[in-house]
Structure 1
Amino acid sequence: MGIFKRKSPEAETADSDLTFFTHSKADEFRAIAREVFAEMGLEVQVHPGHAVDDSGREFGFWNVGAICYEQPQSAWRGVIGEHLQRVLASFDAPDPFDVLAPQDVARLTFARLYDEASIPGIDGYPHRELAPGIVEMLALDLPDTVAVFNHDNAKKFGGWEALQRQGIDNLRELETERPKTLPAPGGGTFNVLLGESVYTASRALLLPDLATELTGQRVREEFGWLMSVPNRHQVVWHVIEDAAVVSALNGMARFTAMGYADAPGSVSPHIFWWNGTSYEQLTHVREDGSLTLRVSPGFQAVLNSITANR
């Protein structure tokens, strides 16, 4: 199966921390950010993914960098300045976990998916692995930001299991975006849910019920389904029914790699297969940046079964 290259050999590779930027653009962003900090009277140490001031406060670059990515570079200084002002104001605001009533916390708690590598000190937060490199965490949805539960906050409001169930229930109650069915080269299709919500990708937690609800597809347990989460605004799936899975896998790989590389809030460039008990990672990145497919014995058995039934 041919899996396309995410970057052409001539293209500059993506920055390892701010992956929506190239290396050079990420360095330009960091330089401008340092200047904005200085203009606001803050001397900081700039690291690849964040800055730290002399009092130890940490300022993450991911969210503001993703906003800047979608703007002309001439607008970056203003975007960073406005973001920094909001962050500084939040430092002075009361901790929402200290002031919100338990019923309000329950109403505002959502299960949310993140790129595991993008969460510094992840052991300090309750989480579980959905698929290799993708973790489910607990997010408190606030008017201007999202606060992630640490272990103490989760314990205070009922613990991981109760909050996770509440987070899934709240996710189900959100208005569902309209799915798109996209053709794959060589035949077959795959489904995409696109939305402005930062929780759109987290609907992957609702599969396979989500597929049945939106498209009427029912999963054959012996075959499973394919899933990917390119970024926070997209979830992609294909319910395996026949040999069209081969072309669907290739189409999903292309779509997912582009969504991961070219959109803010990237989660994972990979395709995963539900094997009946967990997600297996099918695609992997070579040293040259291209994607390749590794077929496990279990997935090969599905392909053999489908081929035998043609």
Structure 2
Amino acid sequence: MMAREVFAELGLEVGIHPDHAVDSSGRKYGFWNIAATCNTEPRSVWRSLIAAHLQRLLTSFDAPDPFDTLPPAEIPNRTFARLYEESALPPLDGHPHRKFAPGVVEMLALDLPDTVAVFRHENARNFGGWEALRQKGIANLRELEVEQLETLNPPGGGSFNVLFGSSFYTASKAMLLPSLAAELTGKHVRQEFGWLMSVPNRHQVVWHVIEDSSVIGAVNGMAYFAAAGYSDAPGPVSPHVYWWNGTGYEQLTEVSDDGTVKIRVGPGFQTVLESVMKG
């Protein structure tokens, strides 16, 4: 296996698992991001891409703790609220976090020139606590440049909006909905209907404000867009589409091992569908 050979060239013996490797000291190396990167490049450059990725990881392992080396006044300005795929993370007992949507958690990230450090409980306590840091992290998300906004019209009808960006925190702007939709598209949410949302990977956030029966085409189009964006881009977050039900997000889609996408309609969303069909 090419990955094992590259590890060996760097002097590391590892155990290879389907989605990660573990070295003799217990350090874990995820495959998602580098696999997505290689997926878009010819096989002839895979070895060099994998080697460069591993070198960056090893550098981050050996680097001094940024929470100890950065000036304390800089920490809040570098702090972002960030969304992560829950199943791809180690146990979160040592980190402040909260559930954002099924399978997606919100954490605090410290933005660094070449990487991102995640706050542990002691880091959060030392720099103001979870609530204060989260407020700053949300404010910093609002200040991020809007890079590329598109409205997509899937073949089945309806439309949805996609915000693309090179930032590691673009998908995390989902935490700004529904005000994000109003700001960028002028659409305001009807509270009885809510909105659809997906975060396929760290560089995309997708939404549809429910107004009428076009939601049917939108949810189907978003389902396939999210599944594709999750599987073929770095920084996957979630392959699913979610509906805001007034108090939280409900998962509307299921993706089978063979890539088949299904829509799962619960009682609340069914009521919305019936209402917009009558309208």
User: TM class, shorter-chain normalised?
Assistant: over 0.9
Matches within 5 A, 1:151-300: 151-286=121-256, 289-300=259-270
CA RMSD in angstroms comes to 1.8
Runs of 4+ in 1 over 6 A off after TM superposition: none
2:16 to 46, 59, 81: 46
Report the equivalent of 1:22: none
Flag the 1:305–1:91 CA change in 2: closer, same or farther, 3 A.
closer
Structure 2 CA distance for aligned equivalents of residues 81 and 226 of structure 1? 39
Query: One-letter code of the match for 1:296?
Result: G
CA-to-aligned-CA distance 1:83-112 (integer Å, 9 cap, x gap): 323333333321101111222110111111
Matches within 5 A, 1:45-124: 45-124=15-94
Which sections of structure 1, spanning at least 5 residues, go unmatched? 1-30
SS in 1 for 2:135: helix
1:302 to 265, 272, 276: 272
Query: One-letter code of the match for 1:172?
Result: R
Which sections of structure 2, spanning at least 5 residues, go unmatched? none
Between stretches 56-65 and 205-214, larger displacement belongs to 56-65
Structure 2 CA distance for aligned equivalents of residues 83 and 168 of structure 1? 29
Between stretches 144-153 and 55-64, larger displacement belongs to 55-64
Q: 1:201: Cα distance to partner? A: 0.8
Structure 2 CA distance for aligned equivalents of residues 38 and 186 of structure 1? 49
Structure 1 CA distance for aligned equivalents of residues 277 and 25 of structure 2? 63
Query: One-letter code of the match for 1:41?
Result: G
Query: One-letter code of the match for 1:280?
Result: E
Structure 1 CA distance for aligned equivalents of residues 173 and 9 of structure 2? 41
SS in 2 for 1:267: coil
Percent of residue pairs identical: 67
Structure 2 CA distance for aligned equivalents of residues 245 and 91 of structure 1? 46
2:111 to 138, 141, 144: 141
CA-to-aligned-CA distance 1:248-294 (integer Å, 9 cap, x gap): 11111122222122222221111111111101111123465422222
- Greater relative contact order (Cα < 8 A, sep 6+): 1
Structure 2 CA distance for aligned equivalents of residues 122 and 48 of structure 1? 22
Structure 1 CA distance for aligned equivalents of residues 31 and 156 of structure 2? 40
State the TM-score, normalizing by the size of structure 1. Answer: 0.84
Structure 2 CA distance for aligned equivalents of residues 77 and 153 of structure 1? 36
Report the equivalent of 1:4: none
SS in 1 for 2:75: helix
Structure 2 CA distance for aligned equivalents of residues 295 and 306 of structure 1? 15
Flag the 1:88–1:253 CA change in 2: closer, same or farther, 3 A.
closer
Cα pair 2:156 2:220 within 8 Å, conserved: no
Structure 1 CA distance for aligned equivalents of residues 130 and 156 of structure 2? 44
CA-to-aligned-CA distance 1:108-149 (integer Å, 9 cap, x gap): 111111111111223332111111011111111111111111
Query: One-letter code of the match for 2:198?
Result: S
State the TM-score, normalizing by the size of structure 2. Answer: 0.93
SS in 1 for 2:236: coil
Flag the 1:249–1:91 CA change in 2: closer, same or farther, 3 A.
closer
Flag the 1:58–1:271 CA change in 2: closer, same or farther, 3 A.
closer
